[in-house]
Chains A and B, each alone.
Chain A
Amino acid sequence: DIQMTQSPSALSASVGDRVTITCRASQNIAASYVNWYQQKPGKAPKLLIYSASSLQSGVPSRFSGSGAETDFTLTISSLQAEDFATYYCQQSNSLPFTFGPGTKVDIK
């Protein structure tokens, strides 16, 4: 199975801050197979970025993704109040599909 790790596990930030979350896969993954999700408490996850860098329809442009091989990044260019949530990376390169453990972004 492909293991996904994320760092940091949690961070505190202020509105307007630039936030970067890193995801590392246990083996090389084609960029096409990495997705990022946002989850707020009590809600279902929401797809933000697919294929490492493609913005899902309706998602604000302050979200962006990049990466290749084993290292992938989610960036929020200017954190907004509604962005405080937990973020997960996920690989679809091979079954079983696996997620990172999540990065919780909260208010400083």
Chain B
Amino acid sequence: EVQLVESGGGLVKPGRSLRLSCAASGFTFGDYAMTWFRQAPGKGLEWVGLIRTKPYGESTEYAASVKGRFTISRDDSKSIAYLQMNSLNTEDTAVYYCTRDLAPPDRFDYWGQGTLVTVSS
């Protein structure tokens, strides 16, 4: 059974950092791109960024709103994807989801349960 489990969320002050983890199981992690989304309270879904597989250089792409502040990485040996978030601001408050990306074309068939990040002083 495919499972994605996010962890690492919590309350953090503006300007601080947080690292989210996404532990995967039930599939060959290294064969799939991984994509992060977020959803602010009561709002819609927003794409955060993605990391491709090793054959594609583990290249990354980011939304303009997080580029330069957030970094996605992966450890295929542990089947974990990471979202490093620096210089957090209140607009980053959201539930963060990791997903398995079935590219090409990109579609997201498994989602984690989400982890809440609250940025507040």
Using CB atoms and an 8 Å cutoff, list the residues of chain A in contact with chain B.
Answer: 32-33, 35, 37, 39, 44-47, 50-51, 56, 88, 90, 92, 95-102
- Docked Cα-Cα span, A39 to B63, in Å, equals 22
- Count contacts on B: residues with CB < 8 A to the other chain: 20
In the complex, besides A96-B47, A102-B44, 13 extra interface pairs with C-beta distance below 8 angstroms are A33-B106, A44-B97, A44-B113, A45-B97, A47-B107, A50-B105, A88-B44, A88-B45, A90-B45, A92-B103, A92-B106, A99-B46, A102-B45
**CB–CB B45/A45 < 8 A:** yes
Using CB atoms and an 8 Å cutoff, list the residues of chain B in contact with chain A.
Answer: 35, 44-47, 61, 63-64, 97, 102-103, 105-109, 111-114
**CB–CB B45/A44 < 8 A:** no
Which B-chain residue is minimally distant from A101 (CB atoms)?
B44
- Docked Cα-Cα span, A47 to B2, in Å, equals 14
- Docked Cα-Cα span, A50 to B61, in Å, equals 22
- Docked Cα-Cα span, A95 to B101, in Å, equals 14
Which residues of chain B are near A37, meaning CB under 8 Å?
45, 108
Partner of A32 from B61, B64, B105, B112 at Cβ < 8 Å: B105
B48 to A: closest C-beta gap in Å:
9
**CB–CB A45/B111 < 8 A:** yes
Given A44-B97, A95-B61, A96-B64, residue A56 in contact with residue B109 (CB < 8 A):
yes
Which residues of chain A are near B103, meaning CB under 8 Å?
92
Which B-chain residue is minimally distant from A88 (CB atoms)?
B45
